Amino acid sequence: MSRNKVRYRVRLRYPESHIFEISCTVAEPNPLGQHFFMPAWIPGSYLIRDFARNVVRISARAGGRAVAIEKIDKNTWGCAPCTEPLTVTCEVYAWDHSVRGAHLDTTHCYFNGPSVFLAAVGHEDCPCEIDLERPVGPQYGAWRVATAMRRLDAPEGGFGTYVANDYDELIDHPVEAGVFSLARFEACGIPHEIVLTGSHRADLERLCRDLSKLCDYHIRFFAGPAPMERYVFLIAAESEAYGGLEHRASSSLMCRRDDLPYRHQEKVTENYRSFLGLCSHEYFHTWNVKRIKPSAFVPYDLSREIPTRLLWVFEGITSYYDDLALVRCGLITRESYLEVLAQTITRLLRGSGRYKQSVAESSFDAWIKFYKQDENSPNAIVSYYTKGALVALALDLTLRRLTANGRNLDDVMRILWIRHGQPGKGVGDNDVRITINEVAGTDMDEFFRSAVDGTEELPLTDLLHDVGVRLVLRQAQSQDDRGGKSSNSTCGDLTDLGIRFKPEDGGARLIHVLDAGAARVAGLAAGDLIIAVDNIRVNGNLEKMLHSYPVGTEVAVHAFRRNVLFCCQVTLQAAPKDTCVLELINDIDERTKANRDSWLGEH
């Protein structure tokens, strides 16, 4: 493969039209006809997105002349044979305000490489040079650039020339340009930047202080040195948003502006805790998935779905450590950690899909199930994030039990880092099991059969008892009850229809109808609008109305299905005990206390 440079030019010519003009120049094009390819998906988000759909115009030139270019398949273009340096220029529409796409308007520019950069086929291993041009106009004079991409000829935080070793690196450095808040901190000597866009009133000093503790913890967790020279948190503060995407030396995060700490706020609120959990999650991915990665992703084939049975390792174990790191580095209390862990357990218990799909199957089918959820998902699938995190918990506590608290999941991750992450060697289906057996000092096949490949309940009550934590299950007080807190209900047994709904003017719209619930038995379906119970109008108060009836009562329910009124008789059931609360047991022996301190950290 040629080592010629591939040059990209990014012109933000029409921010008001949301159009990037991107050109790609190949010095030595394939003389038989150079092909160019646009990824169908972005690593970290397992859904076919066909970024080529946003290309609205494309042309090619070489030696001052136009070269014929035509579409070969949905993501690929072919140029007529030529021998001189070949430049393909395309206009890419960018109006996806998410961490996975590209967005351009008169207020800012954000892009992920897979959304905008063509790959020159056969030149993917060549070094890339990227000229980022400032949009023309006085209103763009104050715009700055934030990215983890290396600068070649650009002032710090400025427009100019950047470089990447190859196409894979090029598309792994999202770029933000515009007017944003910037703060810096160090963790283990590595410079970190927080880039915050959108209106906000966040206390940046506090963010720096807290994130530096957190990043320091993660770098030390993998026994340093950090695998990146610098790191950038690109954060967009919005009215309603939550999500993130990991990259090798940065992450893109979206949160609600209320999630960020205000200057006069001392406590870690639930919102801020979940924001810290998100940062922790994406940062842990710097090791787990960006470098310790499934063999199926080495290298990434971005033209089609690439299934792996291991997403529970990469997303589940990451989800386990994201919150655990917060308590271990002292950002939250043990009680606060147990509250979020109980909420994770609650989420698992709320869907009967966990009896039908294993976490390995959930990983494999992520492309067509987890990423394409519908009204039946709670009955059909299990999340490799949620269950994966709890399999990780069960694994951690089992390893502690088997080795008299000598070894644990941290050891497994460090071995995976040394054997797979550092040398860039993919993790095969059996490598995780082999490593775990090694750390356990015994064969854990039964654990894998049941927890990873099977659909049996995880033995969490028993395992948590080892570390002095009591698991209590109770009924949900409402569908907004996420668990983690004791109930303040004054009712005895609460009734339930077995539904998730959205209050709507004039009734309750059914979103999910759960397996074996009262609503399912009576024939109600997702999409139905319940308007009356026992002949009384429902007005955003459905749960309160139901709680006034004893379990076993038969009530008439009036509903619309596709605008046709019908009535059915529903026998109210007792709400399931699917809401988890975790409590620290006070009266524990020294050994249990030592186990708990080792698990949660000494803070």
Which residues contact Zn ion (rule: CB under 5 A)? 315
* Nearer Cβ to Zn ion (93/367): 367
Nearer to Zn ion, 315 or 365 (CB): 315
Measured between alpha carbons, how far is 67 from 227 in angstroms, rounded to an integer?
Answer: 43
- Residue 110 CA to residue 102 CA, distance in Å, equals 6
* CA neighbor of 8 nearest in space, from 117, 155, 135, 108: 117
Least separation in angstroms between CB 285 and Zn ion:
6
CA 453 vs. chain centroid, Å, equals 23
| Cα–Cα nearest to 28, from 152, 98, 126 | 126
- Strands across the sheet containing 76-79: 69-73, 76-79, 35-37, 119-120
In angstroms, rounded to a whole number, what is the distance separating the alpha carbons of residues 47 and 280?
A: 23
Least Å from the CB of residue 45 to Zn ion:
9
3-state secondary structure of 334: helix
Least separation in angstroms between residue 281's CB and Zn ion is 5
Of 24 and 215, CB closest to Zn ion: 215
Residue carrying the six token digits 């490489």: 113
For Zn ion, the closer CB: 36 or 364 = 364
Residues 6+ apart with CB under 8 A from 294: 308, 310, 313, 314, 426, 427
Q: Is the peptide bond before 299 cis (omega within 30 degrees of 0)?
A: yes
Question: Would you give the DSSP letter of residue 248?
Answer: S
| CA atoms of 84 and 287, how far apart (whole Å) | 41
Residue closest to 516 by CA, chosen among 353, 275, 332:
353
Nearer to Zn ion, 259 or 315 (CB): 315
We find the least distance from the C-beta atom of residue 369 to Zn ion, in angstroms, to be 17
Which tokens go with 509? 């719209």
The tokens of 502 are what? 């959205």
Least CB distance to Zn ion at residue 366 (A) = 12
Supply the minimum distance, in Å, between the C-beta of residue 290 and Zn ion. 10
* Shortest reach from residue 44's CB to Zn ion, in Å: 7
If the CB atoms of residues 315 and 496 are measured against Zn ion, the closer one turns out to be 315
Least distance between Zn ion and beta carbon 2 (Å): 35
Q: For residue 423, count CB atoms less than 10 angstroms from its CB and return exposed for 0-12, middle for 13-18, buried for 19 or more.
A: exposed
From residue 391, give the alpha-carbon distance in Å to each of 168, 387, 459, 465, 571: 31, 6, 10, 16, 36
How distant, in Å, are the alpha carbons of 40, 77, 261 from that of 73?
12, 7, 48
Cis amide linkage into residue 459, ω under 30° from 0: no
Give least dist CB 209 to Zn ion, A. 24
- Measured from the CB atom, the residue of 211 and 463 that comes closer to Zn ion is 211
Instruction: State how far the Cα of 307 lies from the Cα of 565, in Å rounded to an integer.
Output: 44
Tell me the sheet residues that pair with 14: 19
Q: Which is nearer to Zn ion, 413 or 542 (CB)?
A: 413
Q: How far is the CB of 253 from Zn ion (least distance, A)?
A: 11
Which residue lies nearer to Zn ion by CB, 178 or 244? 244
- Name the residue number minimizing CB distance to Zn ion: 315
- Closest approach, Cβ 370 to Zn ion, in A, equals 12
What is the token pair recorded at 491?
């009712």
Nearer to Zn ion, 247 or 328 (CB): 247
CB of 458 to Zn ion, least distance (A): 20
Residue 363 or 475 having the CB closest to Zn ion: 363
Nearest residue (CB) to Zn ion, 169 versus 246: 246
- Residue 23 or residue 250: which is nearer to Zn ion going by CB? 250
Are 508 and 497 in contact by the 8 Å Cβ rule? The answer is: no
Asked if 326 contacts 319 with a C-beta cutoff of 8 angstroms, the reply is no
- Which residue, 200 or 247, has its beta carbon nearer to Zn ion? 247
Smallest gap from residue 361 Cβ to Zn ion (A): 19
Long-range contacts of 210-214 (CB under 8 A, 24+ apart): 210/261, 210/276, 210/331, 211/185, 211/187, 211/276, 211/279, 212/185, 212/186, 212/187, 213/329, 213/330, 213/331, 214/276, 214/279, 214/280, 214/283, 214/325, 214/326, 214/329, 214/331
C-beta of 457: minimal distance to Zn ion in Å?
25
Smallest gap from residue 245 Cβ to Zn ion (A): 8
Q: Which of 344, 308, 353, 296 is nearest to 324 (CA)?
A: 344
Q: Which is nearer to Zn ion, 168 or 315 (CB)?
A: 315
Give the whole-angstrom CA distance, residue 237 versus residue 494: 39
Give me the amino acid identity at 546: L
Of 210, 160, 207, residue with least CA distance to 182: 207
